[in-house]
Amino acid sequence: VEFDFRVDPARLRALKSTKWREFGPDVLPAWVAEMDFPLAPPIKAALAAAIERDDTGYHDPAALPPVFAAWAGRRWGWEVLVEQISILPDVVTGIAECLRRLTPVGARVVLSSPVYPPFRAVIEQVDRVAVDVPLTESGDLDLAGIGAALTAGAAAVLLCSPHNPTGRVWTVDQLQELEALAAAAGAVVLADEIHAPLTLPGATHTVFGSWSNRAAGADSVVLTSAAKAFNLAGLKCSLAVAGSARVAAALEGLPRYVRNGTGHLGALASEAAFRDGDDWLAELLVQLDLNRDILATLLSGHLPRIGYQPPEAGFLAWLDCRKLKLGDDPAAEFLRSGGVALSSGPAFGPGGAGFARLNMGTSPALLAQIVQRMAMTGR
């Protein structure tokens, strides 16, 4: 099947969502984690059919779980029972609600910085305390550091798997060791796997707790959605999959106002994605695999002093701009003198100073313009 991954800047400038509007018409946006490609045809058809039916009521919570369970088995060999699944409005709401129900007020929650900024924000917003255990020099999870934080009393680990912003995919050994550490400490693991469907050739994603030998048996929950892989963030639908009985009971207790925050169109679009999206996703991954190489070529041509480790998953590139001497927040400089909006490194916490995150979920032509605009600053 041939899908359309062309990107038309005129169409994008006419969008009414935030990515292309936030910075106005003169700035090229490469910030928020949304892609510029047209929707997958099965999703577009499902949404158009819903509008045609005037079908805009509350979502049916029974519809999506079996479709997701089938996808999880097909894609990851992950056996999921529909009883384990809760449908929620979005992943960050799932994180907030799980922290509220699985840890006490004031609990310490481990995160591996630099990491997706809302992790820290949401921990603080639910009155818990973020404990940074930075990634190692090689960009790996610091399992010894996490173990020490857990021994010292941290109640939860908020894992980003694959990791945003670095695009690292964690190995099954790392994940199993993390589970053992959490189990020994009686801590819960919250695994945000929203980028997992975007695992690129060469890497293998393992769902947290999907291994058969769960003797270690930490409490855990996997939070995921179709939103990043299929570009559905504004439609509001995610899934929380309980990995233990205690977590399942906590999710069962979620209030109606949380569950009813799920968008019906989001649930329908997610169903179409998980049931009929495999072919489109396969072609998307070909495009993203190309893009990460194209970015390497563009950077070595225009900005060779930027450090770039291509991601193993996703469409985000974590750029080490320290040799450009643009200060702690190179994204601010790229915006000011290049008219290109990247995400600010320092927002990602310790390890973010001197870095910027670039969104390459776009066409090679726009990617080239993004780098050319950055080069106006960074020469």
Ligand X SMILES: Cc1ncc(COP(=O)(O)O)c(C=O)c1O
Tell which one of 227, 306, 313, 340 touches ligand X (CB under 6 A): 227
- Which of residues 197 and 378 has its CB atom nearest to ligand X in the complex? 197
Minimum Å gap between C-beta 161 and ligand X is: 9
Stretch that binds ligand X, among 38-46, 86-94, 202-210, 351-359 (CB under 6 A): 86-94
Find the shortest distance in angstroms from Cβ 116 to ligand X: 4
Q: Which has the closest alpha carbon to 9: 35, 36, 32, 34? A: 36
Q: Which residues in 17-46 contact ligand X (CB under 6 A)?
A: 33
Query: Using the rule CB under 6 A, is 91 a contact of ligand X?
Result: yes
Please give the helix or strand (H or E) that residue 281 lies within, else none.
helix 278-302
**Is 111 among the residues that bind ligand X (CB under 6 A)?**
no
Asked if 98 is part of the footprint of ligand X (rule: CB under 6 A), the reply reads: no
Sheet containing 85-88: order of strands: 85-88, 238-242, 219-224, 188-192, 156-160, 108-111, 129-132
By C-beta, is 225 or 244 nearer to ligand X? 225
CA distance 133 to 141: 8
- Residue 193 interacting with ligand X (CB under 6 A): no
Size of the site for ligand X (CB under 6 A): 13
Among residues 101 and 163, whose Cβ is nearest to ligand X? 163
The correct pick among 225, 244, 369, 377 for binding ligand X (CB under 6 A) is 225
Q: What are phi and psi of 300, to 5 degrees?
A: -70, -25
Residue 95 vs 326, nearer CB to ligand X: 95
Q: Least separation, in Å, of the C-beta of 376 and ligand X?
A: 27
Reference 202, options 308, 317, 364, 310; nearest CA is 310
112 touches ligand X (CB under 6 A): no
Residue 252 in contact with residue 87, Cβ under 8 Å?
A: no
State which of positions 155-174 bind ligand X (CB under 6 A): 160, 164
Q: Which stretch binds ligand X (CB under 6 A): 20-28, 87-95, 130-138, 321-329?
A: 87-95
User: Which range of residues in 85-93, 212-220, 253-261, 366-374 is near ligand X by CB under 6 A?
Assistant: 85-93
Beta strands of the chain (E only): which ranges?
A: 28-29, 85-88, 108-111, 129-132, 156-160, 188-192, 219-224, 238-242, 307-308, 316-320, 340-341, 343-344, 355-359
Which of 40, 60, 44, 68 is CA-nearest to residue 271? Answer: 68
Q: Which residue in the shown chain puts its C-beta closest to ligand X?
A: 90
Which of 33/69 has CB closer to ligand X?
Answer: 33
Residue listed under structure tokens 């990491």? 115
Kindly tell me which of 259 and 375 has the beta carbon lying closer to ligand X: 259
Provide the β-strand partners of residue 157: 110, 189
> DSSP letter string over 132-194?
E-PPPTTS---HHHHHHHHHTT--EEEEESS-TTT-----HHHHHHHHHHHHHHT-EEEEE-T
Query: Could you count the other beta carbons within 10 Å of the beta carbon of residue 252?
Result: 11
The closest of 143, 137, 136 to 157, measured between CA atoms, is 143
CA distance 211 to 203: 17
Question: Per CB under 6 A, does 248 bind ligand X?
Answer: no
Work out whether 238 is an interface residue with ligand X (CB under 6 A).
yes
Examine residue 116 and tell whether it contacts ligand X (CB under 6 A). Answer: yes
How far apart are the C-alpha atoms of 87 and 267, rounded to whole Å?
8
**Shortest CB 119 distance to ligand X, Å:** 8
The one among 72, 126, 194, 196 contacting ligand X by CB under 6 A = 194
Q: Which residues bind ligand X (CB under 6 A)?
A: 33, 90-92, 116, 160, 164, 192, 194, 225, 227, 233, 238
